[in-house]
Structure 1
């Protein structure tokens, strides 16, 4: 039983009549067809799970059914469908993998049956909201599909004592496979829709960031480069006027003009570097990453870099990801050492940036939510995805952080 498997004594329950099977053989096909129709009605996980739970309890000699779905982190199960009144708990009950009978079934990918005395089973963990003590017997089966693996766990419970047969378990496993296939497609649909929404938000943010950067760059050019060039022209005019009368003063003005030229060149390089890192043109990605590491003096950065060239847009994406990583480490990680590794293998480029800092709790979607996984993390994720790759974040409080970007080397 799931961590707290349920209990709801239905009026007129089947506890007083003999039971030979979950459902009469002649009704099995009708039940399976009804479930196929239910899972074909749409991509939403919760309505599908609720419909399946109702069909099972209506057609079988069980009293309550729970459908627990594996969440995107693959570390816990969430109650996605249940027969009334437990439908009010949908989305509220979460079970860690390995916890309770449901968690055991999920971690072992094997059915579990408890005929009676659930409390004496070491796997059983009660959940008050599901009132498990009101039920005597239960069967729990994994919902798995070939392309998607484990999708969730299906549980049925009876008030009366029941010894579930091999035929019962086979029927539940068939139902579980039918539901798992549809759930897998629903999860893929949901993730795709979420990714499309994230892309839309990211596009808006990129446009806004571009406009902000352009205004900032225009201000830098106006206030810095332009003003210095105007001042330089004044000094050169002054040199022309006084050259005949006071050669010493002319020499002073020329020195000032030279200093202005040097400052203007430095500011121009900074402005150009904001648009595109020129170090990539000169030294390639490995040299650019090494230069980037030297720009963070408060960190000891250890480097392991393969001297390999990639397409221009891929190098820029990986350079910007590394830049964002090192900036985040310097600002938030309270780390003393960072490691930057880059290389390619079998057509895939891999960039890894890690630190020995304070770390943080990685949420289900690292691109949203916490301060640590805010716009900077989303920006890095999108940069990797826009060149056909992906970003993976590994961190936990007190154990540092590792960020890995993998992209096709010939994207």
Structure 2
């Protein structure tokens, strides 16, 4: 018999706050976490803003010596994981560590550390390069550090599926627990790639927004005036457990994971399929596994990065799958407020969906001024909405054509 899989803890680091309560309250108020970059001179760049994590004190949290041994993405991941464990009330000394796993990925890994050490090599010579460069840089180190800190000895995986990493991690952890391979898995993603070279590359690829006004208005998924995504950073980690394990320890249950769909567009290295072929199939598979019909979905948390092609293709996929029900189902786009957190996006947006199910409220898609006639569904424009939510799906898509969709339900 397959295990049921539930969510019992959440933790995050984000441009809208470094704890779930602060983040969620800001989202419901339609606040934006996008700001001008102030850590370097951006006058030579095509864009000058990002979703920067503020007020994150790694030295205070981990101690200066330990913090300096981790790249920023790893610091974010470990902080979010520790908060998720605390939120879940997990007493690690009472957990069978051989049945505790960590599925946490990063799309770009420690690029900040790599750039810093390359500069040291050029300016001060090979002897000054840190012996910890490689372990600080490689993207599996977030999962590894969480495993080391918690003592988790079960399956540890660092999926790399670009911007769909968070959902890939959650979905694969769901499958692992459901099959009886683990009792508890920490799942999600982390990213800290706001660097000059990253922004220069994305800028030259014409994927970034070049909005030159108030940064808070730059990310506008589904709006006719959208002109690209806004880079962001952070981490989102969830505690997934088998229902039997959660009930045995008397855990509070936030929601249940009931479906997961993963596909590939098999189309292009960066562009999504223009008709949303892979997105459609991933949503269809996730609902099939959850044994649900499209009309039973109460909310869709869209991938919606604020690019012309990407938003349009996702809308086409939704319309194809949901048919006559498409105008009834709210489609909310969190990236309008937090920007695109790449490998961290899926984890953070899954936490937002958990909060929607818990609170019966849907955060808005902000910066909706001129409707795009090709994105004409209910995008919850500019103001949060009260709605009883029993079933929600969260979409995440990534460069290379990766698509990952999860279904979360109210626990009953």
TM-score bracket, shorter-length normalisation = under 0.3
Q: Quick one: higher RCO (CA 8 Å, sep 6+), 1 or 2?
A: 2
Larger Rg: 1
Normalising by structure 2, what TM-score? 0.19
Higher-helix-fraction structure: 1
